[in-house]
């Protein structure tokens, strides 16, 4: 399953990736702020309009903490054809956490329980995406314990604390604890960057069958394919990357317009640079370029297949 990366894995990105790689079964779309029914204009939710999501099974994600807004937004999504939604309890960004959203909700299991209770009563199927806590591991433990009383489709666990942001390494012992205390289907997420990472996690957690990958699939779009046994020869991999990259450029141009292209590519090259083994200096030089043609020249020169 492709992880949601706000600002990157939008429908344009997802559809292009889906046309160029195999091995990914589903995706969660980047978060959508919840809102009251009178503010909802589903036509503006381009990212999750069904006509823009015909390739993978894609699930929308909610961000927010007001119970009635969660219900209204889930209802609007159900009307669009998404019976089930994911709720973001993992985002560690300061401006989100400060407003008691995303990972900022993890210290407040009673607020989370209110949403679970109401969504359950209204027959709105829900899943969660959590970390192991914002500041303490006991926060994730409390949520896992409490959530056993409610129906959930699944829980995605990224075993870092929110205060770590993306630093440090996922705490596999804590993941094992949470896994063994949950009665729900658990999906592992965090730092699967290579086939070896995946194999080692699978050995650790033989009963886990669901895996979510984010940055690893940006760094290597063929990662899921390679995990599932598809072996690409090095030149073919590079040629396929080129085809994928030009597909992305065309799709961003068509859907988001020429002016969005350079900022979008810069965001992506933070990750794509790993595929081409750029040094820090090369990436730095690339990201400093503010002219699209020069940017593309630099990319072409540094991604030549010999
Ligand atoms: C730029 C960026 C944007 C993200 N946006 C979201 C988001 O919208 N919703 C969400 O649940 N997680 C979001 N995440 C977290 C990822 O989905 C994922 O949990 C995290 O990157 C760890 O997994 P990975 O190591 O496979 O990337 C974001 C992460 C990054 C780096």
DSSP for 93-116 reads -HHHHHTT-GGGGTT-HHHHHHHH
**296 with 202, same domain?**
no
Give the residue whose CA is nearest to atom 11 of ligand 1.
88
Q: Which of 1, 2, 3, 223 should be mutated for ligand 1, with most atoms under 8 A from CB?
A: 3
Give the residue whose CA is nearest to atom 10 of ligand 1.
4
The residue out of 177, 199, 227 marking a domain boundary is 227
> Could you tell me if residue 1 is inside a domain?
no
Task: For residue range 169-227, list pLDDT tens digits in order.
Answer: 999 999 999 999 999 999 999 999 999 999 999 999 999 999 999 999 999 999 999 99
Tell me the residue range of the domain where 76 lies: 11-227
How many A from CA of 169 to the centre of ligand 1? 15
88 C-beta closer than 6 A to ligand 1:
yes
**124 with 260, same domain?**
no
92 C-beta closer than 6 A to ligand 1:
no
> Could you tell me if residue 172 is inside a domain?
yes
> Could you tell me if residue 79 is inside a domain?
yes
137-147 helix and 109-121 helix, angle to the nearest 10 degrees = 20
DSSP assigned state of 36: -
The number of domains in the chain is: 2
The residue out of 174, 202, 227 marking a domain boundary is 227
Tokens 């020249």 locate to 297
> Could you tell me if residue 4 is inside a domain?
no
The residue out of 227, 261, 288 marking a domain boundary is 227
Q: What is the mean pLDDT of residues 257-262?
A: 95
93 C-beta closer than 6 A to ligand 1:
no
What pLDDT score does 233 carry? 86
Note whether 130 and 89 are within 8 A (CB).
Answer: yes
Apex 135 CA angle, 134 and 136, nearest 5: 105
**15 with 104, same domain?**
yes
213 C-beta closer than 6 A to ligand 1:
yes
d(CA 184, CA 154): 6
Note whether 187 and 158 are within 8 A (CB).
Answer: no
CATH number (domain holding residue 221):
3.20.20.70
pTM > 0.95: yes or no:
yes
**204 with 261, same domain?**
no
Residue 235 pLDDT > 90, yes or no? no
**174 with 297, same domain?**
no
Residue 305 pLDDT > 90, yes or no? no
**146 with 268, same domain?**
no
250 — pLDDT class (breaks 50, 70, 90): very high
**84 with 25, same domain?**
yes
């Amino acid at each position: 399953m492709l992880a949601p990366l706000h600002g990157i894995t939008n429908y344009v990105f997802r559809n292009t990736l889906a046309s160029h790689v195999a091995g990914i079964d589903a995706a969660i779309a980047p978060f959508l702020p919840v809102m009251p029914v009178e503010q909802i204009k589903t036509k503006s939710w381009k990212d999750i309009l069904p006509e823009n999501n015909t390739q993978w099974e894609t699930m929308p994600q909610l961000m927010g903490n007001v119970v009635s807004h969660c219900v209204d937004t889930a209802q609007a999504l159900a009307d669009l054809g998404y019976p089930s939604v994911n709720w973001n309890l993992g985002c560690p960004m300061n401006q989100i956490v400060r407003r008691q959203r995303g990972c900022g909700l993890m210290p407040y299991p009673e607020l989370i329980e209110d949403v679970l209770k109401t969504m359950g009563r209204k027959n709105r199927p829900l899943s969660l995406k959590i970390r192991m806590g914002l500041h303490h591991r006991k926060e994730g433990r409390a949520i896992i314990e409490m959530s056993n009383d409610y129906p959930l489709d699944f829980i995605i666990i990224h075993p870092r604390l929110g205060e770590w942001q993306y630093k440090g390494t996922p705490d596999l012992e804590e993941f094992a604890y949470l896994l063994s205390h949950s009665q729900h289907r658990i999906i592992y997420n965090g730092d699967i960057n290579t086939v070896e990472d995946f194999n080692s996690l699978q050995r650790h957690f033989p009963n886990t069958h669901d895996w979510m990958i984010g940055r690893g699939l940006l760094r290597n779009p063929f990662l899921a394919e390679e995990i599932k046994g598809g072996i690409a020869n090095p030149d073919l991999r590079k040629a396929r990357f080129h085809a994928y990259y030009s597909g992305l450029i065309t799709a961003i141009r068509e859907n988001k317009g020429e002016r969005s292209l350079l900022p979008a590519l810069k965001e992506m090259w933070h990750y794509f640079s790993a595929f081409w083994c750029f040094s820090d200096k090369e990436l730095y030089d690339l990201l400093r370029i503010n002219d699209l043609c020069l940017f593309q020249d630099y990319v072409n020169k540094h991604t030549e297949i010999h």
